[in-house]
Each structure stands twice: as C-alpha cells, then as structure tokens.
Structure 1
Amino acid sequence: MQNHEELLEDIREDTVVNVIPEKVFSLEHTLFDLPKFGELLQNVTVPVGREAVLQCVVDNLQTYKIAWLRVDTQTILTIQNHVITKNHRMSITHAEKRAWILRIRDVKESDKGWYMCQINTDPMKSQVGYLDVVVPPDILDYPTSTDMVIREGSNVTLKCAATGSPTPTITWRREGGELIPLPNGAEAIAYNGSFLTIAKVNRLNMGAYLCIASNGIPPTVSKRVMLIVHFPPMIWIQNQLVGAALAQNISLECQSEAYPKSINYWMKNDTIIVPGERFVPETFESGYKITMRLTIYDVDISDFGAYRCVAKNSLGDTDGAIKLYHIPQTTTITTMAPTVSINTVPVFNVKYNKEQRYSSNSNSNSNNPYNYNNSPQNSNSKSQRNKGKSLDQAPSTLNNVYMGATSSLWNSQDHHSPGTSRGRDHHQHQQQQQQHQQHQQQQHLVPDHGATYRSDGKNTPLKHDAKSLTDEMDRMQDLKSSAAVHIHNILHSLIIVVYLGAWQA
C-alpha cells in the first residue's frame, strides 16, 4: 500500500499529462459548484419622482460576478459594486453577501421597462423584472379649450386632453352641479369623453364647465372652462298696471336678461328719469338677470301716466311699459239700518168686524154645547171700543183671536152647526168675510201685532229697511190668510166629526 506522499506524487504526474483520476475530479467539482439565484426578481411599480428598488439574490456566487443591464437598450448599468452607466441617479449595494440591490432615484417615466440581473457563468445565468412607472394625470393646455364665447343658438364643442400612466379618463361636469345637455338630446350630471358638443346653445347653458382627468394615481386634476353665451336684452313685466293714491309711495319693477350686461334706465314721456329725492331707480343683478326698480315717493298728480324700463347692450335693446293710474281716496260713512222683530213661526189670526160677530152669533145654534162667545154684551163692548180708535191705532180696531193647535178647535165651535147645511153656508160666508177683512187691513197698513207671539215664547229679530219691511208685512199677511183658510177647513171637518160622534152617543 502506497503512503500519502506517493499518492500525491502520482496525482501531480497525472495532472501534467491531463489524466485526472475519477476520485480527484469528483472532489474538485464539489468544491467549485456553479452559483444560482436564491429568489425570483420581482416586478416593481413606483410613481414618478419616487425611488425604485430592484433586488437580485444569488447563492454560491464564488468568484463569479453580478451585472445589472437595461434590456430594451442592452445597456450595462453595474458590475459587482461598480456603476458603469453615467446616470447619476443609479446606485448599487451588496447586502448580506447574497443580495445585489439596484436603486434608481427620482424615477422618470423614461425609466419604465425590463431590467436584467446576470451571472457571468458559462453558459450565462440571468433573470429579468419589470419596472413600471405610473404617472398621475396632467391636463394639457393645448388642445384643451380655453374660455369660449358663443352666440345663443349656435353649436359649440369643448375639448380636453390629458397625459398620464395609465392613460387618464376625461369627465365633464358643471361647476354648479347643473345638468349637462348631451349630444343625443338628453341631460346628465356628468359626461365621459374628451369632446363635449352642445347643440343650439342657450343662456341656461352658460357657466363654468370642469374637465376632470383621473387614472387611479393621485392626485386627480381638473381644468375650468367658461362657456359665455351672448344674447340681446329681454324684459318681463309682472304688473303692467299699477294704481296709487296721492301722497303714496309706489314702486315699479321690470325683470331683464342680457349678456353682455345691459345698460338699464327708466323713461317717462320719452324723457330719461334722473335720480332724485322723489324718483329713486335701483338695479339688482344675479348673473345675466337684472331686476329694475323705480320707487316714487309722495306721488303727485303729475306722476300718473306711462313709464318705460329700457335695457341696452351691444347686441340690441328693448323696453317694457308700465301704466301708473290714480286711485281716488273715498270717505266711508257707516249708518245703522232699522231693525224689527219678525216672527218666523206661522200664527193664524181670525179677525171679526162688528157685522161678522153679530152674524156669527145669530147663526149659532142655541143648543151649542160649548156656549162660547154668545154674549151680546161682549160684542157690544168690543164694537164700542172700535169706534173710539183712530187710524193710528188701527191694530185694535179688529178683534184678534189667536188660534193654536188646541185653541182653534174650541174657538171654532160656536160658529158651526154640525150636521146641517147652515154650518157649510156659514163656513163659506166666513171665508168671504175674512178675505174682505184682509183687504181692509192691507189698505190701512195695519200691522199684525200677533206676529210677536210664538208658542215657544221666543222671538227672532231680523233687520229690514222701511221698504223691505212693508214688503215683508204684505208677504206675511198673504201667508197668514192662506194658512188660516187651510187650517179653518181642517178644523171645520174635525168639529163636524166630533159633534156627530157626540150626537150619536
């Protein structure tokens, strides 16, 4: 068996003649194993202006070397710890003996692309990663629209252009939140697109429009575009006729719309009204709308007439007319109308004059079971009282018998003979007498004092003047006479039935 020195000698000899024993080759291959990547190279996304960090991890590098390259340009950036590129924003660091870190400060959009970490083995080993540089949106001054002036009724297109990474989206909104007219005729709060077209612009479309660009990378940016619509003046008048009394303060108003802003003034009789102590013109502006007000203090007779409010701008002029007329002052005199109490409940009066009473008594049956009003003394005394009354005391010239639901039955018994033709004749004769009685009472204007009587003891006063009172009395008298006849007929029939019943009994 060979000793150790002899074995080493044999190895040297074999090496010289390029004959390497199998055992020695296996040992050297283990000692000099090739390097490998410890981790995958990660893709990196970074906003513009920030720092990008790319890290390459290699195990068992041994004496091999690491290099960073830009793939798209095939540019060597670093080798080991040395920066090859002249870009001063790049640097290389070695950490933990296995990580090689490429740093890019103040990243620009041009730094976006593929980067390679390479080991100079044979064959070469490498891996790549992508650096994505995102850029917040930015609105370009050109071709984005600036403030635009357009005539009412024309078509207009607003434009907005923006850059950024990813590509930004464009949204249009109105600054005040008003609706935006869309190309299809509809309206919406917002519209997406670089071009906003408005057909037949009107004054309601005038205002500030916002072009908003966003791509998910803060901050979102916007630009304000003013749309100015020109149109000639227009005037609206709410009250074209205004009345005022002398010495009163009065105001006249007109509503005007115009753009460019109009010159506004008042005229009377083709003369411009100059502001003074009694005439004070005022204007109140709200965008393109103007309220014109003329206040006249202590109105005089000469102030009445036609006034004109006038509005003018570079596109035209217009005016509106208001007429101020005189309202006469009146004196009000309050008078009290006479009042009188009128009974609203029907009361039926059967009135007898002297001849009627005697005729009634003479026709009465001597066998009257009720024996009512048969005394000639009563008739004579009432007749004497009638003779002593004047026309002024006409209500007492006739005897009034008030007939209610019960008393009418009893008061009628002494004037009828049941079961005979005399009762019917007497009834017809009495109707004629009552009509004659009514005629006399209307001729002498005799008031009916029985109207103050009511079965419930209540009176309801009503107000009448002299003429209506007379008409009311005539109407009530007619109603009383008609009702008296009707009630009298009913009572007559009842008396006959009662009397026949008593007779048969």
Structure 2
Amino acid sequence: MKLILLLITVIVLFKSGTNGLSIIKIQDQYVDNGDTFYLSCIASGASVGANMGWIQRTIDGISIGATFNDQILVPQLRNRYSIRNTGSSTREHILTIRNAQLDDAGEWTCTAYPESGQIDTMSTKVTVLTPPEITTISSPPVDLRLGLNYTLQCNATGSPMPIIKWRRVNPQYLPNYIPFSVGYLYNLTRVTANHRGLYECIASNGIGKAARESVKITFSYKPEVKAVREELVLPKNEAGNISCSCEAFPKVTRESDVRWYKGSQLISSSDTQNYLMDVVDDRESDRTVAILTIRNVTSTRGGEYRCRFRNQQGETERSLSVTVGAIADRYAGKVPSGASTITPSIIISTVFMIFMATCFH
C-alpha cells in the first residue's frame, strides 16, 4: 500500500503577556482510503510545560478527543493511531493514522495549552476518499399485487457521498420509459404487469468502481387479454386467422390453457379438419399470442368468437367479431388458399401481421 504523507501543519505562535497564541490557517486535505497520513501541529514559543492535543469532529457531528500529549485517548484506535512529540521551545505534536478509513474523516482541531496565557486552536477538514458501498437495498416484495404501490429503497456510503440511480435491467428502461431515475427511492405507483423486472441500484462517487445491487420485482396475476382485432373480415372460401394477445404470470404457454369458442360452443382442438390452434410465446415478456386458423371460411364461420386464457390466478376472455366477405381485412392474418397445415413460415408471417395490427389499431 502506497504511503502518502499528508502533513497538516498548525503553526501556533506564542506571544508573551496577554497576546496569547496566534494560528496560521492551512487548506483542507484529501486522503485515499487505506493510506497512511500525518496530522502535525506546531506551537512556536511554547514552554516545556505546554500541553497539546487533537480533537476530531466526525462527519456525523460527534466530537472525539483523540490525543493529549503522548496519549491516544481512544483504546480501539491504538492499533492504527500513534503520537509523537518533539521539540522544546518549538513543540510539534504529530498524529500518525494508518489505513485511513471513512471514520477518520471530518474536522480535526489542534489545541495548544500554554502554562500561562490564552489557549488557541486550529481546525482543518480531512476527507477520506472512499469508493461507494451499498449498505441496504429493498427485499423483493412477497405480497405485491396489481394496483398497489411499492417503494424501492437503496442506501449507500462513500466519500464523497455517492449519487444513487435506479434502472431496470430486464426489460430495459423503467416503466415510464426513461433510462434511469436519480435518488435513493424509486416509487412503483399503481403496479401493473409493466412494472415487473430486474431493478438495479447504482451508487457512484467517482472513486473506484460504482457499487451495484439488484432486486427482482415479480408477482402473479391472472391473464389480461385483448383481441388483436375486435372486428375483422376474412375471405370467403379461403383460410384465415383470428388472434388474441395475453399477458399473465405465470405465462400462458400451453395450448391446453387456451380455449376458443364460436358463440357458446367450445371449439375442440381435435377438430383439425376445420380449425388449427397455436400459441406463440414472446420470450422477452409475459406476453403470448393465441392464433385460431379457420381452414375454410364459409358463410357459417362468421359471427362472434371468444378466446379464453387461464393460469393459477384465474381466467379471462375477450370477444371478437368475424365477418365473411369477398375481400379480406388487410390485418386479418390471411393464410394462403388451400393450405392444409400451418408451417413455421406462415406462423412467423401471421405473428408479424398481428403486431402490425396492434401498432396501427
């Protein structure tokens, strides 16, 4: 560990009679964390019987008598502090502090007590440059529900005092679509599914590396479902798709947890002669899309359809209306005429058109 000599010199000029001592002010000093530094107080004209000592006022505002003459007054500091006195007519009171810590920062005052006459003091500020350290961070909530409020809190120490920021790692950006929020508190107001994710607290002060800690916000909620298009036209005597989008946690990814109805009649997944069903998972979010392909759109296929999603928290359904016509809705997710199976390329094309429909809707 390098040794940096930080000499804080107090020159105390002793004047006879009633003039007392005079002080020469010095500049504030900065010390790297872990270094060794020296506090030196010099009293000129002091007699052999003069007394000298250091008092520290910590950054928390606590005053501690550190030394008096050749004594270290705080026993637990004696392994890092040592004192040395030299001179007779000119007295020097030198405090050596090893392995500088944040607790050593604050205002240090040297006091010279002559055998007669007035005492005098000199104060200087010592800053121990310390990398940030996160001391506390919120625990993941165990009972968070939709619509409630929750506050994330992160506390850090360091010198200078760290700046604290909150950001969301996954997904990127905070729920209000900004990259980060400054402050040790971050409020989640009226929680929705959009608030889920991994949040990271970052504390930085320009000394060393920034400190980082994260907390995951997760909770279960029943499906939130919407029809990609609530009203659409499918071409007569061709194949076409209708779709519903769902957000839920746990996610609805199994086809057995999705039900399609024509009116009040459940559409069987085994009726592959007339219908094909698929569930497409968006791996970056809680979202899935259910696709119902009508193999041959006849006039009897028009009417109301319902999609129903379920998970451990409950189930939700939405309705959509299908009209059979000669010209298809450009966002209906049309499948080429005569298709007998749903191929991966058709599914990708369908999902693309579904997201385009969502954007333009």
Q: TM-score range by the shorter chain?
A: 0.5 to 0.7
Q: How many angstroms does 1:70 deviate by?
A: 3.1
Aligned residues: CA RMSD: 5.1
CA distance in 2 between counterparts of 1:119 and 1:158 reads 52
Does 2:134 match 1:139?
yes
Which of 99, 103, 127 is the equivalent residue of 1:106?
A: 99
Q: Spell out the pairing of 1:318-397 with structure 2 (5 A cutoff).
A: 318-319=316-317, 320=319
Indicate yes or no: 2:270 matched with 1:261.
no
1:263–1:177: structure 2 CA closer, same or farther, 3 Å change rule? closer
Q: Aligned partners of 1:90, 1:312: CA distance in 2, in Å?
A: 68
How many correspondences in the alignment? 277
Gap runs ≥5 in structure 2: 1-20, 56-62, 327-361
CA distance in structure 2 between the partners assigned to 1:274 and 1:209 by the alignment: 44
After superposition, give the CA deviation of every residue in 1:321-368 in whole Å (9 maximum; x if it has no partner): 6769798xxxxxxxxxxxxxxxxxxxxxxxxxxxxxxxxxxxxxxxxx
Query: Deviation string for 1:423-455 (max 9, x for gaps)?
Result: xxxxxxxxxxxxxxxxxxxxxxxxxxxxxxxxx
Equivalent positions of 1:9-88 (< 5 A) are 43-57=28-42, 64=48, 69-71=53-55, 72-76=63-67, 79=70, 87-88=78-79
Q: CA deviation at 1:312?
A: 0.8
| 2:278 counterpart (276, 281, 287) | 281
Instruction: Name the counterpart of 2:308.
Output: 310
Secondary structure of 1:140 counterpart? strand
Structure 1, unpaired ranges of 5+: 1-35, 181-186, 328-505
- After superposition, residues 209-220 of structure 1 pair within 5 angstroms as 209-213=199-203, 220=210
Bigger CA radius of gyration: 1
- Aligned residue in 2 for 1:293: 291
How far is 1:85 from its partner?
7.2
**Is the partner of 2:144 in helix, strand or coil?**
strand
Deviation string, structure 1 residues 158-192 (Cα, Å, up to 9, x no partner) = 33444455665655555533464xxxxxx977655
Q: 1:66 to 1:295 in 2, by over 3 A?
A: farther
**Equivalences for 1:68-217 in 2 at 5 Å?**
69-71=53-55, 72-76=63-67, 79=70, 87-91=78-82, 101-112=94-105, 113-116=107-110, 118=112, 127-134=121-128, 136-141=131-136, 144-148=137-141, 150-164=144-158, 171-175=165-169, 176-178=172-174, 180=176, 194-213=184-203
Matched residue type, 1:203:
A
**Structure 1 position 48, deviation (Å):** 4.4
Superposition map of 1:216-231 within 5 A: 220-228=210-218, 230-231=220-221
CA distance in 1, matches of 2:297, 2:161: 75
Higher strand share: 2
* Alignment partners' CA distance in 1, 2:108 and 2:99: 18
Compared CA separation, residues 75 and 270, structure 1 to 2 (3 A): closer
Choose which of 204, 224, 227 in structure 2 pairs with 1:236.
227
More helix by share: 1
TM-superposed CA distance for 1:287, in Å, is 0.9
Identify the residue that residue 333 of structure 1 maps to in structure 2.
Answer: none
For 1:264 and 1:93, the matched residues in 2 are separated by 78
Q: 1:69 corresponds to which letter in structure 2?
A: G
Q: CA deviation at 1:45?
A: 3.6
Question: Secondary structure at 2:100's aligned position in 1?
Answer: coil
C-alpha separation in 2, matches of 1:67 and 1:42: 24
Deviations 1:194-225 (A, max 9, x none): 54445433334444444455567665545434
Cα distance in 2 between the residues matched to 1:128 and 1:178: 50
Post-superposition offset of 1:245: 4.5
Separation in structure 1 between the aligned mates of residue 279 and residue 163 of structure 2, nearest angstrom? 48
- Counterpart Cα distance in 2 of 1:60 and 1:213: 49
Change (3 A) 1:207 1:222: same
How far off its partner does 1:104 sit? Answer: 0.6
2:96 aligned counterpart, secondary structure: strand
C-alpha change, 1:168 and 1:245, in structure 2 (3 Å) is same
CA shift in 2, pair 1:220/1:77, >3 Å: farther
Secondary structure, aligned partner of 1:110: helix
Distance in 2 separating the partners of 1:85 and 1:123: 29
- Residue deviations 1:109-144, cap 9 Å, x none? 433442426587655876534353445554332xx4
Determine the C-alpha separation between the residues in 2 that align with 1:84 and 1:153: 57
Work out whether residues 54 and 101 of structure 1, in 8 Å CA contact, stay in contact via their aligned partners in 2: yes
Q: Residue by residue, what CA displacement relative to the aligned partner does 1:231-281 show, whole Å, maximum 9, x if unpaired? A: 4321313265534657x6x55433222233225535476354259899462
Instruction: Say which of 254, 266, 271 aligns to 1:270.
Output: 266
TM-score by length of 1: 0.41
User: Contact conserved, 2:226 with 2:246, CA < 8 A, in 1?
Assistant: yes
In structure 2, distance between residues paired with 1:89 and 1:163: 22
Q: Distance between the aligned counterparts of 1:88 and 1:251, measured in 2?
A: 78
8 Å CA contact 1:41–1:127 kept in 2: the answer is no
